[in-house]
């Protein structure tokens, strides 16, 4: 790696509002960007937009987080290899559907845990071999405690959070840094039409800014907005006999 | 997805409940275009109800991607929701600026085309539309047509200045202006009265930019006293040594924000008079020639975000007309006399010289345009009615981007082109499809 700004950034799940905001933020700091998504070709307008606004190279890469068999080839074919890999991939699914259908629950679990963990784990191995790199996983506050309203999604995020924590632990001192991002509410396509409390809801650009700074400062774990650290501390500490009767 | 919202223009008058949707892509937009009575909305900087839908409003700001740029021709292709501020941010560091810009950079590309906005260089360069090479226009059926001076030329021409009533502008090709620096050389001419101001403009036809701030409370012999400000893009070698190393960058300014609605009385005759007197003296004393950065020169008001709130909760209205060159002095004198007589101060009183423009429905024509801001209240609304009448008597016409309250009768009397516009809309079945609060009020 030469200087930090020339390091290519790979965004997995780049179509999402948060993913695009992240791509813009790093491009504004002169990082070349690779946008990886399903149907990546449809992101061509975003590719040109980021390239024109920020004067950096932006490329597209086809990526499906469920296609674990293709992951090694996907990573190998990226040239130059990314120095910062950020996964934004996720799917909230529908809790009721996940309760009723094994297939639906499987999809949520694989999309939020298995897929993102495997691909980030794989990039981490490649980075460890070179002795440098940054891995960023966008998990969720929903992983901090399972709740009736979305525990299928939440448990997969919990698994992802635990995976990132272990990865960070193992690679500490090996030049590879791992950042866990736990957004609370974010105003995106995923939450469109929901009535979210304004003071607790971040804009995608806010999440991107927080991630950009956290990467620069090599933070381990962040909540966006920060108030969520407090909220989740309270929620985690409610004794189970009481918690199981709440409706949160 | 549609939701209900209270909407208004920049003047926050009038306000209306409206269904709003902010589509993410052309496909989603196509599904909404046929709803009936829709209007596209850019960044909401038109003062009145031009961007408030008859039945529903389509917020275009998510369609804001820059698609291509050709450094040889300087042509940028971008989606309609891109803000002029974004274009400057991206391209000024590379030596490009807008060919035409209104007095705020927080307008969208689509909005600038739909109002065919003019800048301080209209006398030389024409309006915004002169630099639009083509645009993609979505009709009520969701189909997109590329229109230009060559293809579908009538629809293209009606769309410039068509206030969103010919369809939804999806993307456009805009020619930019090469510049050597981010700085403007400004020369200020002190004009003791209206005659002197007009002479200053007429003597400055070669200047790239010209605009005058008028003290609209001055009367008698001082009626129309103004500071006429001329500007030129500074060449790199005209800059002081300190700036020459990076001619295209300018100092970052802190934005200030108006935190809450001012009480309705904060702006009154006395405060405006005091402000005007101060500004006038400052202008008279200042150096005749200065170098200022692009942001301060073109967008002084943008430094105060949300400044529309200083007029208080009731909002404000702007009066803007253009009067023909022939007899301009008499027409302007009549307008200014009426304003001074009413004693209704206007903070922003701006005079510009417009050049000749042949267009189907755009505002500019050769002459002088006067813009005045007033708090919205019964007294000022009555004054505006009198200013309308004077404008009509002197063969002038009105700017739709600023209008919030004209009666249909007055607008049609001032602008015979309106009848052709209405006929064109009916013939192309656009009248039911696209409608705004303004088009309903003005029977467009
Ligand atoms: C401080 C200030 C200074 C100004 N100075 C000037 C000036 O110097 N010269 C000047 O000419 N104007 C000036 N204006 C007016 C302003 O430039 C216009 O009102 C402009 O149209 C606003 O653009 P917008 O994106 O905010 O559009 P909006 O206000 O949202 O909409 C304005 C019109 O454009 C239409 N429109 C918007 N987007 C689209 C689209 N994608 N497709 C079809 N129609 C669309 C709307 O239907 C509406 O009729 C000024 C306004 C302010 C607030
Ligand atoms: N919005 C919130 O309130 C909130 C709160 C906490 C955490 N988060 C997390 O933030 C991240 C971004 O979410 P968002 O709100 O921006 O919602 P989103 O738009 O739904 O983003 C999810 C992204 O994951 C991608 N994805 C899903 N399945 C995939 C697959 N099989 N292969 C590749 N990509 C796939 C989607 O791609 P497609 O476009 O191809 O479908 C989409 O880009 C998610 O991980 C989410 O869990 C969001």
Residue A109 has pLDDT above 90, yes or no: yes
How many angstroms separate the alpha carbon of residue B360 from the centre of ligand 1? 18
Give the catalytic positions of A in this structure: 153
Whose C-alpha lies nearest to ligand 1, atom 18? B46
Chain B CB within 8 Å of residue A192 CB: yes
- Could A49 and B90 be called an inter-chain contact, meaning their C-beta atoms sit closer than 8 Å? no
Lowest mean pLDDT among A36-40, B65-69, B312-316: B312-316
Question: Which residues of chain A are within 8 Å of residue B66 when distances are taken between CB atoms?
Answer: 48-49, 52-53
How many angstroms separate the alpha carbon of residue A193 from the centre of ligand 2? 16
**Helix H or strand E segment including A202:** strand A201-202
Fold classification of B183-240+255-407 (topology level): Alpha-Beta Plaits (3.30.70)
Confidence class of residue B217 from pLDDT cuts 50, 70 and 90?
confident
- pLDDT higher for B3 or B439? B439
B220-248 pLDDT, tens per residue?
A: 999 999 999 999 999 999 999 988 999 99
Structure token pair of residue B252: 């970052």
Whose C-alpha lies nearest to ligand 2, atom 7? A140
pLDDT for B210 equals 97
Using a 10 angstrom Cβ sphere, with 0-12 exposed, 13-18 middle and 19 or more buried, the burial of residue B87 is: buried
- Could A45 and B68 be called an inter-chain contact, meaning their C-beta atoms sit closer than 8 Å? no
pLDDT for B279 equals 75
Structure token pair of residue B83: 């803000």
Average pLDDT of span B203-216: 95
Q: Cis before residue A80, ω within 30 degrees of 0?
A: yes
Chain B CB within 8 Å of residue A49 CB: yes
Distance CA B53, CA B439 (A): 9
Structure token pair of residue B93: 């560091």
Average pLDDT of span B9-29: 95
Asked if B173 and B140 touch (Cβ cutoff 8 Å), the reply is no
Residue A2 has pLDDT above 50, yes or no: no
Average pLDDT of span A133-144: 98
Q: Which ligand is nearest to the CA of A192?
A: 2
B369-395 pLDDT, tens per residue?
A: 999 999 899 999 999 999 999 999 999
**Considering chain B, what is the average pLDDT of its residues?**
93
Q: Which residue of A has its CA nearest to B76?
A: A52
- pLDDT higher for B312 or A175? A175
- Could A55 and B68 be called an inter-chain contact, meaning their C-beta atoms sit closer than 8 Å? no
Which residue blocks in B122-231 are alpha helix, DSSP H? 122-125, 153-159, 194-202
Residue A6 has pLDDT above 70, yes or no: yes
Query: B411: closest CA among B112, B435, B421?
Result: B421
Provide the residue ranges of all domains of chain B, joining segments of one domain with +: 66-179, 183-240+255-407
> What ipTM was predicted for this assembly?
0.91
Average pLDDT of span A124-149: 97
Question: Which residues of chain A are within 8 Å of residue B24 when distances are taken between CB atoms?
Answer: 189
- Could A52 and B90 be called an inter-chain contact, meaning their C-beta atoms sit closer than 8 Å? yes
Distance CA B370, CA B114 (A): 21
Chain B CB within 8 Å of residue A173 CB: no
Q: Which residues line ligand 2 (CB under 6 A)?
A: A 13, 15-19, 37-38, 63-66, 88-91, 111, 138, 140, 183, 185-186, 188-191
Closest CB from A46, A48, A54 relative to B68: A48
Q: What is the DSSP letter of B53?
A: B
Average pLDDT of span A24-33: 97
Distance CA A161, CA A144 (A): 9
Q: Which ligand is nearest to the CA of A91?
A: 2
Please give the number of the atom of ligand 2 that sits closest to the Cα of A17: 16
Inter-chain contacts counted by CB atoms under 8 A, chains A and B: 29
Q: Which residue of A has its CA nearest to B64?
A: A49
The SS3 assignment for B60 reads: coil
CA distance to partner chain A, nearest, from residue B314 (Å): 26
Asked if A125 and A72 touch (Cβ cutoff 8 Å), the reply is no
How many angstroms separate the alpha carbon of residue A186 from the centre of ligand 2? 11
Asked if A38 and A102 touch (Cβ cutoff 8 Å), the reply is no
A18-40 burial: b if 16+ Cβ within 10 Å, else e: bbbbbbbbbbbeebbbbbbbbeb
Closest CB from B3, B24, B65 relative to A49: B65
Question: Which residues of chain A are within 8 Å of residue B64 when distances are taken between CB atoms?
Answer: 49
Give the torsion sign (CA, B76, B82, B84, B87): negative
CA distance to partner chain A, nearest, from residue B362 (Å): 30
* Portion of chain A with pLDDT greater than 70, in percent: 98
Question: Which residues of chain B are within 8 Å of residue A52 when distances are taken between CB atoms?
Answer: 66-69, 76, 90
Tell me which of A53, A56, A187 to substitute to probe the interface with B (most B C-beta atoms closer than 10 Å): A53
- Could A52 and B1 be called an inter-chain contact, meaning their C-beta atoms sit closer than 8 Å? no
Chain B CB within 8 Å of residue A45 CB: yes
Give the torsion sign (CA, B365, B369, B375, B381): negative
**Considering chain A, what is the average pLDDT of its residues?**
96
Fold classification of B66-179 (topology level): 3.30.465
Average pLDDT of span B322-329: 98
A42-63 pLDDT, tens per residue?
A: 999 999 999 999 999 999 999 9
Is-above-0.90 flag for pTM? yes
Asked if B45 and B106 touch (Cβ cutoff 8 Å), the reply is yes
Distance CA B247, CA B213 (A): 28
pLDDT for B137 equals 98
Residue B260 has pLDDT above 90, yes or no: no
Distance CA A205, CA A198 (A): 15
Please give the number of the atom of ligand 1 that sits closest to the Cα of B167: 43
pLDDT for A248 equals 75
- Could A49 and B94 be called an inter-chain contact, meaning their C-beta atoms sit closer than 8 Å? no
Chain B CB within 8 Å of residue A39 CB: no
Closest CB from B67, B86, B90 relative to A45: B67
Tell me which of A21, A42, A45 to substitute to probe the interface with B (most B C-beta atoms closer than 10 Å): A45
Got the DSSP string for B357-373? ---SS-S--SEEEEEEE
Residue B344 has pLDDT above 80, yes or no: no
B348-377 pLDDT, tens per residue?
A: 789 999 999 999 999 999 999 999 999 899
Q: What is the DSSP letter of B344?
A: -
B48-70 pLDDT, tens per residue?
A: 999 999 999 999 999 999 999 99
- Could A45 and B79 be called an inter-chain contact, meaning their C-beta atoms sit closer than 8 Å? yes
Whose C-alpha lies nearest to ligand 2, atom 39? A15
pLDDT for B312 equals 77
User: What domains lie within chain A, and their CATH numbers?
Assistant: 2-243 (3.40.50.720)
Query: A210: closest CA among A121, A146, A138?
Result: A138
- Could A48 and B1 be called an inter-chain contact, meaning their C-beta atoms sit closer than 8 Å? no
CA distance to partner chain A, nearest, from residue B80 (Å): 13
How many angstroms separate the alpha carbon of residue A112 from the centre of ligand 1? 43
Residue A1 has pLDDT above 80, yes or no: no
């Amino acid at each position: 790696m030469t200087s930090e700004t020339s390091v290519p950034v790979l965004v997995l799940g780049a179509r999402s509002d948060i993913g695009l905001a992240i791509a813009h933020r790093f491009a504004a700091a002169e990082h070349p960007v690779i946008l990886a998504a399903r149907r990546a070709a449809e992101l061509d307008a975003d590719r040109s937009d980021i390239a024109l606004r920020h004067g950096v190279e932006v490329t597209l890469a086809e990526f499906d987080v469920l296609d674990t068999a293709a992951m090694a080839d996907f990573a190998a074919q990226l040239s130059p290899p990314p120095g910062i890999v950020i996964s934004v991939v996720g799917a909230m699914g529908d809790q009721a559907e996940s309760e009723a259908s094994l297939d639906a629950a499987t999809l949520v679990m694989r999309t939020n845990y298995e897929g993102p963990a495997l691909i980030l784990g794989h990039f981490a191995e490649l980075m460890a071999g070179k002795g440098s790199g940054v891995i960023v996983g966008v998990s969720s506050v929903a992983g901090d405690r399972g709740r009736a309203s979305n525990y299928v999604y939440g448990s997969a995020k919990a698994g992802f959070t635990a995976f990132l924590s272990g990865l960070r632990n193992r690679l500490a001192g090996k030049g590879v840094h791992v950042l866990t991002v736990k957004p609370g509410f974010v105003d995106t396509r995923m939450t469109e039409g929901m009535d979210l409390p304004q003071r607790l809801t971040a804009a995608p650009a806010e999440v991107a800014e927080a991630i950009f700074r956290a990467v620069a400062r090599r933070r381990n774990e962040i909540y966006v907005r920060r108030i969520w650290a407090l909220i989740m501390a309270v929620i985690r500490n409610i004794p189970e006999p009481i918690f199981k009767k709440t409706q949160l | 997805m549609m939701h209900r919202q209270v909407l208004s223009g920049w003047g926050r008058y009038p306000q209306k409940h409206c269904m709003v949707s902010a589509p993410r892509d052309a496909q989603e937009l196509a599904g909404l275009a046929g709803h009936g009575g829709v209007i596209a909305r850019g960044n909401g900087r038109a003062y009145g109800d031009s961007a408030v839908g008859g039945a529903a409003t389509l917020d275009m700001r998510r369609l804001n991607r820059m698609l291509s740029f050709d450094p040889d021709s300087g042509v940028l292709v971008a989606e309609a929701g891109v803000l002029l501020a974004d274009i400057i941010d991206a391209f000024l560091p590379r030596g490009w600026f807008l060919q035409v810009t209104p007095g705020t950079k927080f307008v969208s590309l689509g909005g600038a085309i739909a109002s065919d906005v003019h800048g301080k260089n209209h006398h030389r360069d024409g309006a915004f539309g002169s630099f639009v090479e083509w645009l993609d226009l979505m009709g009520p059926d969701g189909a997109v047509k590329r229109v230009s001076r060559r293809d579908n030329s009538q629809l293209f021409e009606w769309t410039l200045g068509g206030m969103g009533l010919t369809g939804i502008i999806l993307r456009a090709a805009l020619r930019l202006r090469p510049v050597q620096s981010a700085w403007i050389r400004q020369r200020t001419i002190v004009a003791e009265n209206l005659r002197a101001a007009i002479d200053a403009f007429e003597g400055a036809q070669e200047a790239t930019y010209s605009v005058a701030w008028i003290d609209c409370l001055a009367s008698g012999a001082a009626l129309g006293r103004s500071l006429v400000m001329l500007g030129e893009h500074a060449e790199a070698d005209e800059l002081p040594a300190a700036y020459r190393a990076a001619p295209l960058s300018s100092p970052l300014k802190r934005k200030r924000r108006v935190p809450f609605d001012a009480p309705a009385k904060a702006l009154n005759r006395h405060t405006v008079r005091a402000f005007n007197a101060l500004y006038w003296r400052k202008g008279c004393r200042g150096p005749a020639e200065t170098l200022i950065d692009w942001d301060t020169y073109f967008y002084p008001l943008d430094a105060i975000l949300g400044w529309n709130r200083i007029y208080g909760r009731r909002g404000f209205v702007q009066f803007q007309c253009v009067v023909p060159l022939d007899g301009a002095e008499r027409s302007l004198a009549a307008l200014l006399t009426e304003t001074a007589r009413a004693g209704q101060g206007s903070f922003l009183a701006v005079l510009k010289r417009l050049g000749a423009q042949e267009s189907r429905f755009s505002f500019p024509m050769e002459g002088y345009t006067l813009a005045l801001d007033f708090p919205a209240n019964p007294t000022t609304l009555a004054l505006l009615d009198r200013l309308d009448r004077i404008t009509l008597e002197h063969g002038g016409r009105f700017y739709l981007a600023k209008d919030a309250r004209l009666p249909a009768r007055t607008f049609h009397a001032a602008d015979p082109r309106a009848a052709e516009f209405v006929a064109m809309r009916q013939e192309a079945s656009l009248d039911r499809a696209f409608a705004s609060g303004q088009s309903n009020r003005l029977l467009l």
